[in-house]
A and B are shown apart, each in its own frame.
Chain A
Amino acid sequence: MQQIINGISLGSLYALVAIGYTMVYGILRLINFAHGDLLMVAAYAAIYAVTLLSLPWQISFPLVMVLTGLFGIFLDRVAYKPLRDAPRISLLISAIGASFLLENLAIVLIGGVPKGFPRPEAFAKVIDLWGLRIQVLTVYTPILTLVLLMGLLYIVHRTKVGKAMRAASKDFETTRLMGINLDRIIAVTFFLGSSLAAAGGIMWAMKYPQVNPFMGVIPGLKAFIAAVLGGIGNIAGAVVGGFVLGLGEILIVALFPQMAQYRDAFAFTVLILVLLFRPTGIMGEPITDKT
């Protein structure tokens, strides 16, 4: 039981990050390799907001989300926008380059030594829930994820921008012909995806209160796998994939403790199996070959 709650908590973190991957992929058909590093950027930003500017966390965390969102737009403008008409392989290489640049800049500017995260007391408490001893954070994470997800679904399905986003992911060219400003839509997509990644990054940093320049790599990769698992381009799929992956990882370690050191390999094995047997993921539509 305890493990299931842990799994859901971890899964919701993966889900938050996976949504960003899936949204960007849906529109640009690009794996944003630097997406995982936004977790790291957000975590550092939150540290500085709390310690240097001494803002209370209630203000600084939403602020960090907005800033990371803007950073996502900036990333797109600098690294991806000049390559809109270039071959896909160039775009991917640019994304990998951006990811490494962020990590190494963080090493140079901040240093490779892990920093502690100033975790607000309210999240660190341990409560007794029906006989289970659980950190409050573990309960809050899925709840917050749900709230953010509701907000996102509202934007995507009930607003004009959301309609344009859905249209762009169906057919990029026709959407442009319909007089929709695609650059704006892409910017909004990057903003939303990056802010969700920031929320994920902050919660990740509270869960494992150590921030280092490479902290985003592994969660980023796993979130991507979650997105593929759920069917890439599909927001609900990303959430399902995140939960499946999070639960799977925790349960494997809980049920077979001797497998603990293989934990990181689990996600990739899942990925290879999914691609072998059901390349479109759990909830994906068949991939049409758009070249």
Chain B
Amino acid sequence: METSTRNTLCNIVLLAVLAVVLYVFEKHGTEYQIRILNNMAIFITLAVSYNLVNGFCGILHLGPNAFITIGAYTSALLTMSPAEKQLSFIIEPLIWPLSVMQVPFAVSLIAAGLTATIFAFLISFPVFRVRGDYLAIVTLGFGEVIRVLCNAMQSLTNGPLGLKGLTPYTTLWWSWGVAVFTVVVITKLVNSSYGRAMKAIREDETAAKAMGVDPFRHLLLAFLISAFFSGVAGGLLAHLITTISPTLFTFFLTFNLLIIIVVGGLGSTSGAVIAAALFAWGGEALRVVESPMNLGFITLPGIPGMRMVLFSIILMVVILFARRGIMGRSELSWNRVFAALRLQTKA
């Protein structure tokens, strides 16, 4: 069998398995399990798209929370019915075109992605004039500015009150569908000539420039695509938790994403997927340390906030001692899986 046909077949089988698992959970899983699975899918989308900029282009972008916020607000404002909006915006009414609009969920998600992309395009000009630490701070600042604006622009975002009572449109099929789509698109992009150019910029920007690669164009492309998926994921997130407010999308969110992609391996899509799944699951599993623990002879009091300490320590340990993370820059592909299997049978 040709390798490529084999790989396609394997991918189809994998998707089918995923679909069966999702179906089983949707029918028989508890609400809690479904919630974790949804979180997992959204974190996969976010981590994979964030990794495109940080891992493959090698620039430290600290503002994905801004695009998630923009996406969440855009899609929330578009799916709420005009009556709900009138009820929510008590201090200042919503400005005109948005106050009477209502579109289906799918359209709102695309709009969320596009709005995030437009904002990304607008800030890309100051952002890509600088590199390294400056770029990190500018994007971080952009995230802060968006949060401040969300608090201040009452007639658009309802200010600190946020938007409440969104319809929980986000089902397992939506979240995982988007996650799979993101992974496919990003993998295709990374393996294309654009992806190779991005990696060249990451390794040595001057040399890449000398080879005729335009850094601005390629970084912009990665940035915009990343923003688009962050926006879509923001829309999914908004309709999963059904209440959004400016305090929800702080730098904390970016920090979590950073942990995910560093632990997964900067520059590895499969690493990002694995780490995101681990994070969504581990974040719940680690709740143990925050609740009182009974060890038989002594009872340890639960320490609220301990999870974040653990996450910070994990990040520091990985970056200090195991900088490659789980996957390094390599990918988990069928070729490798089969190669490993062959070795096993031979030995």
Point out the residue from A90, A107, A269 that lies within 8 Å of B145, measured CB to CB: A269
- Nearest A residue to B62 via CB reads A96
A101 touches B133 (CB 8 A): no
Report the minimal beta-carbon distance from A281 to chain B, rounded to whole angstroms.
Answer: 11
Chain B CB within 8 A of A172 CB: no
Q: Are A268 and B145 in contact (CB under 8 A)?
A: yes
- Also in contact, A265 and B145, with CB within 8 A (given A94-B316, A104-B309, A275-B126): yes
B319 surroundings in chain A (CB, below 8 A): 83, 90, 93-94, 97
Residue A271 at the chain B interface, CB threshold 8 Å:
yes
Is A108's CB within 8 Å of the partner chain B?
yes
Q: Does B258 touch A at the CB level, under 8 Å?
A: yes
Contacts of A105 in B (CB 8 A): 309
A96-120, CB under 8 A of B: which get 1 and which 0? 1110110011011000100000000
**Total A-B pairs, Cβ < 8 A:** 114
The verdict on B173 contacting chain A, using a C-beta distance below 8 Å, is no
Contact call B141/A271, Cβ cutoff below 8 A? yes
A98-B316, A107-B308, A108-B305 given as contacts; is B144 within 8 A of A221 (CB)?
yes
- In the assembled complex, the Cα of A36 lies from the Cα of B152 at a distance in Å of 25
When distances are taken between beta carbons in the complex, the residues of chain B under 8 Å from A264 are 144, 148
CA distance A267 to B142 in the complex (A): 11
Closest chain-B Cβ to A260's Cβ sits at a distance in Å of: 9
Question: Chain B nearest CB: distance from A36 CB in Å?
Answer: 12
A182 proximal to B (CB < 8 A): no
Interface residues on chain B, size class? 35 or more
Q: Which residue of B lies closest to A260 (CB)?
A: B152
**One of B60, B266, B306 near A108 (C-beta < 8 A):** B306
- Contact, CB under 8 Å: A279 / B129: yes
Q: What does DSSP make chain B's interface, helix, strand, loop or mixed?
A: helix
Q: Of all chain A residues, which has the CB nearest B152?
A: A261
Give chain B interface residues in 263-278, CB to chain A under 8 Å.
266
A97-B266 in contact given A104-B305, A108-B303, A228-B134 (Cβ < 8 Å): no
**What residues of chain B lie closer than 8 Å to A289, measured between beta carbons?**
206
Residues of A within 8 A of B204 (CB): 291
Q: Does B332 contact A (CB under 8 A)?
A: no
Q: Which residues of B contact A86 (CB under 8 A)?
A: 323
Chain B positions within 8 Å of A97 at CB level: 312, 315-316, 319
A30: interface (CB < 8 Å): yes
> Could you tell me which residues of chain B, from 154 to 202, have a CB within 8 Å of some CB in chain A?
none
| B148 → chain A closest CB, angstroms | 4
Contacts A101-B313, A221-B144, A291-B206 given; does A89 touch B60 at CB 8 Å: yes
Q: How far is the CA of A61 from the CA of B343 in the complex (A)?
A: 65
The yes or no answer to A251 lying at the interface (CB within 8 A) is no
Q: Is B58's CB within 8 Å of the partner chain A? A: yes
* Chain A hits for B334, CB < 8 A: none
Contact A88 B132 (CB under 8 A): yes
Beta-carbon contact of B137 and A224 below 8 Å? yes
> Cβ of A93: which chain B residues have Cβ within 8 Å of it?
60, 258, 262, 315, 319
Q: Are A104 and B144 in contact (CB under 8 A)?
A: no
Q: How many angstroms from the CA of A224 to the CA of B315 in the assembled complex? A: 23
Contact B206 A221 (CB under 8 A): no
Interface contact A31-B148, CB-CB below 8 Å: no
Say how far A33's CB is from chain B's closest CB, in angstroms: 9
Query: What are the 4 tightest A-B residue pairs by CB atom distance, in nearest-first order?
Result: A268-B141, A101-B312, A104-B308, A107-B305
What are 19 A-B contacts with C-beta separation under 8 Å? Answer: A25-B133, A31-B137, A89-B60, A90-B319, A93-B319, A96-B258, A97-B319, A100-B315, A104-B309, A107-B304, A221-B140, A265-B144, A265-B149, A268-B145, A275-B130, A279-B129, A279-B130, A279-B134, A291-B206
Beyond A224-B137, A262-B148, A271-B138, 15 extra complex contacts between A and B, CB < 8 Å:
A83-B319, A83-B320, A86-B323, A89-B132, A89-B266, A101-B309, A101-B313, A104-B309, A108-B304, A265-B149, A268-B144, A268-B145, A271-B141, A279-B129, A289-B206
